[in-house]
């Protein structure tokens, strides 16, 4: 279960191949691609900047660029997203995300020795069934839309949450596991949102002998154990902080909770969790069991623990960033090495009925990449003819160098051209 934000707010920030690593089964999975089209998704061909063809190895399976960025009319995966596949920042021990992941591992290894299996290299290309159906996401949920999720084809997506592996692992006989991985969502552009980020999912399954004699019903037993476990994790990461539990809703747990901590003089959500819906357990061969699950976003916590102000920094190869972090050094505070000036460009246009802000951000990211810092709606009005105009301010800023006027002007003209051509809007 993986905690999610924006349009995915109701989901946790949320034939098999086996090989053995470090004494336990490591699950790897990449599914064949379906070429069937979904009528509800756009059939408009996509403009893309050409990039060199390449082959990646994800979860032990080789994936070619043409397998992910395809001509299928339902495909909306841009080259910029393909370029992030396989980077697996969470597996780099000297990276803030890897340091945080290993810190969480340390907590579970210390308090639950040899209990939790760990998976951090599962293939991010999954079926719609795995990503949504297996975790009870309703058929009409907004997170299934072409606007919010990256579709390889009508039946295949880039996972939106690490919960996509939950059912398969349960069927594989795993009862205690942690899944860490990169997840993908079409989203807005600002300092805390990026179309690729990283999550960790945790699951623990109990059998009747675990709760019998406790005086509690199975659900209460699991909920109590869940809260005890996660309060301990929060103390491990943040120290002796004040905590509170908030009732929440997620499709795949009941009851559901969010854990908040009082940190730096404000309440901050740390993770979402709950007692797994019995339907999930029953569907995966565990009808006599009860389980808890939690999900957390690594970037969200790492930005707080390491004082990292911009989510784009996680992807930086600048030694002034990477050299500040070392394996096992949890909570080292990032020291800004420079602050280059931003360049702002405004763009106004009459929108069409099909316009969405996520599509606008995809176009801008596809052209400017990580040089775009923020896209903000600064004006919105409807005229007497019923036509609606939006004005967006685009902030361009490199974290590593000063941008030239010529460079920014070239980007902006390219953005204007592609916004008009791709989004069916009329520039003003």
Residue 157 dihedral angles phi and psi, to the nearest 5°: -135, 165
Let me know how long the chain is.
Answer: 428
- Reported as a single tens digit per residue, the pLDDT across 332-352 is 999 998 888 999 999 999 999
Q: Is the pLDDT of residue 147 over 70?
A: yes
Handedness of CA 137, 139, 145, 150 (dihedral sign): positive
Do the domain assignments include residue 33?
no
Do the domain assignments include residue 133?
yes
Question: Which SS3 state, helix, strand or coil, does residue 107 take?
Answer: helix
Q: Which residues pair with 196 in a beta bridge?
A: 184
Same domain, 309 and 188: yes
d(CA 2, CA 59): 20
- Let me know: does 245 contact 257? Beta carbons within 8 Å: yes
Question: Which SS3 state, helix, strand or coil, does residue 18 take?
Answer: strand
Residue finishing a domain among 323, 358, 387: 323
- Let me know: does 280 contact 252? Beta carbons within 8 Å: yes
Do the domain assignments include residue 38?
no
- Reported as a single tens digit per residue, the pLDDT across 162-220 is 999 999 999 999 999 999 999 999 999 999 999 999 999 999 999 999 999 999 999 99
pTM of the model: 0.86
Do the domain assignments include residue 407?
yes
Percent of the chain with pLDDT over 90: 80
Tokens describing residue 255: 């009851």
- Reported as a single tens digit per residue, the pLDDT across 385-408 is 999 999 999 999 998 889 999 999
Domain assignment of residue 401, given as a range: 343-427
DSSP labels, 225-277: HHHHHHHHHHHHHH-S-EEEEEEEEETTEEEEEEEEEEETTEEEEEEEEEEEP
d(CA 18, CA 162): 18
Residue finishing a domain among 295, 323, 351: 323
Q: What is the reported pLDDT for 7?
A: 39
Tokens describing residue 383: 């005229």
Do the domain assignments include residue 136?
yes
d(CA 365, CA 80): 8
- Reported as a single tens digit per residue, the pLDDT across 20-72 is 333 333 333 444 444 333 333 433 333 344 444 478 887 777 888 988 998 89
Q: Is the pLDDT of residue 360 over 80?
A: yes
Question: Structurally, how many domains does the chain consist of?
Answer: 2
Same domain, 266 and 412: no
Helices (H), 139-263: 166-171, 208-211, 218-238
CATH number of the domain bearing residue 398:
3.30.70.380
């Amino acid at each position: 279960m993986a905690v999610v934000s924006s349009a995915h707010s109701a989901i946790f920030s949320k034939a098999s191949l086996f090989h053995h690593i470090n004494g336990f089964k490591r699950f790897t999975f990449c599914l064949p691609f379906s070429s069937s089209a979904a009528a509800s998704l756009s059939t408009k061909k996509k403009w893309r900047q050409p990039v060199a063809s390449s082959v990646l190895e994800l979860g032990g399976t080789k994936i070619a660029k043409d397998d992910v960025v395809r001509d299928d009319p339902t495909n909306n995966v841009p080259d910029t997203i393909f370029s992030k596949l396989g980077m697996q920042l969470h597996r780099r021990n000297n990276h803030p995300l890897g340091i945080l992941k290993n810190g969480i591992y340390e907590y579970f290894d210390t308090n639950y020795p040899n209990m939790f299996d760990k998976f951090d290299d599962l293939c991010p290309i999954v079926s719609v069934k795995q990503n949504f159906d297996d975790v009870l996401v309703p058929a009409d949920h907004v997170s299934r839309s072409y606007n919010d999720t990256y579709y390889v084809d009508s039946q295949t997506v880039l996972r939106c949450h690490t919960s996509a592996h939950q059912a398969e692992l349960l069927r594989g006989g795993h009862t205690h596991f942690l899944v860490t991985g990169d997840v993908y969502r079409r989203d807005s552009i600002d300092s805390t949102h990026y179309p690729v980020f990283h999550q960790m999912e945790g699951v623990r399954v109990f059998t009747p002998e675990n709760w019998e004699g406790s005086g509690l019903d199975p659900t209460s037993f699991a909920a109590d154990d869940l809260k005890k476990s996660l309060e301990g994790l929060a103390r491990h990461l943040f120290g002796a902080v004040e905590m509170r539990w908030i009732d929440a809703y997620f499709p795949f747990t009941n009851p559901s909770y969010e854990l908040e901590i009082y940190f730096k003089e404000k309440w901050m959500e740390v993770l979402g969790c709950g007692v797994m819906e019995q339907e999930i357990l029953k569907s995966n061969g565990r009808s006599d069991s009860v389980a808890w699950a939690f999900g957390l976003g690594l970037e969200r916590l790492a930005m707080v623990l390491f004082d990292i102000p911009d989510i784009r920094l996680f992807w930086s190869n600048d030694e002034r960033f990477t050299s500040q972090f070392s394996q096992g050094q949890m909570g080292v505070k990032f020291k800004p090495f420079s602050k280059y000036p931003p360049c702002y460009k405004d763009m106004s246009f009459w929108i069409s009925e099909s316009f969405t802000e996520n599509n606008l951000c995809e176009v801008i990211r596809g052209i400017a990449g990580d040089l775009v810092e923020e896209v903000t709606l600064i004006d919105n009005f409807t005229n007497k003819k019923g036509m609606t105009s939006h004005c967006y301010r685009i902030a361009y800023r490199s974290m590593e160098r000063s941008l030239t006027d010529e460079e920014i002007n070239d980007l902006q003209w390219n953005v204007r051209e592609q916004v008009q051509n791709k989004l069916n809007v009329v520039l003003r």
